Amino acid sequence: MNEKADAAANGKKRSMRERIRWDYTILFLLIPAFVALVVVFPDKGATARHVAWEYFKEMVMILPAVFVIMGLVSVWVGREFIVRFLGEGSGVKGVVLSFILGSIPMGPLYVAFPLAAVLLKKGAKVANIIIFLSAWACIKLPAELMEFQFLGWKFTLVRYLATLLVVVILSEIMERIFFKEGYALPGERGADGDV
């Protein structure tokens, strides 16, 4: 168990480090490219500079709030909280809970996979797990602040409702077609065979 946790932690750390390097690589390639283009084409460059500056100002204004909310959520809404409430309740309640619980925490999608595995083992409905992962991926509370700021209330609200509607319907159809008899995780199936 400990070994497994360590391996997972190492894997996560490594992939994180790789990502940071990619970020910096791209940034350090972009800076000279940007400067060169602005110098060579002063006309278009002026627009590029102006736009970059406007976006920079907007980001400076909004990002502290985004990250503070992210921090508060991660401290006050722990993983245990999510696991406790998810997979409970059926019908409409289960659907709504899955969607809301998925959209609260921050973090990349791969953090949610082990959670989803635990919930599937606990016997949660497959459709609800798909809803949970979908909400986790594309409706994030802190990220929604960015959406308000950059795309407006109307777009954000409509996208939220459209996503809820579509994901709920599609995941239900998906479950009826592919997971009629429930779903056993790869590891579990082997265990069943042993017994």
Residue with tokens 């407006």: 152
Q: Toward another protein, which CB reaches closer, 96 or 179?
A: 179
Min CB(54)–another protein separation in Å? 9
Min CB(93)–another protein separation in Å? 22
Min CB(22)–another protein separation in Å? 9
For the four alpha carbons of 93, 99, 103 and 107, in that order, the dihedral sign comes to positive
Cα torsion through 147, 150, 153, 158, rounded to 10? -60
Q: Toward another protein, which CB reaches closer, 41 or 85?
A: 41
Min CB(89)–another protein separation in Å? 21
Distance CA 23, CA 59 (A): 18
Quickly list DSSP for 54-97: HHHHHHHHHHHHHHHHHHHHHHHS-HHHHHHHTT-S-HHHHHHH
The token pair at 99 is 């969607």
Q: Toward another protein, which CB reaches closer, 63 or 191?
A: 63
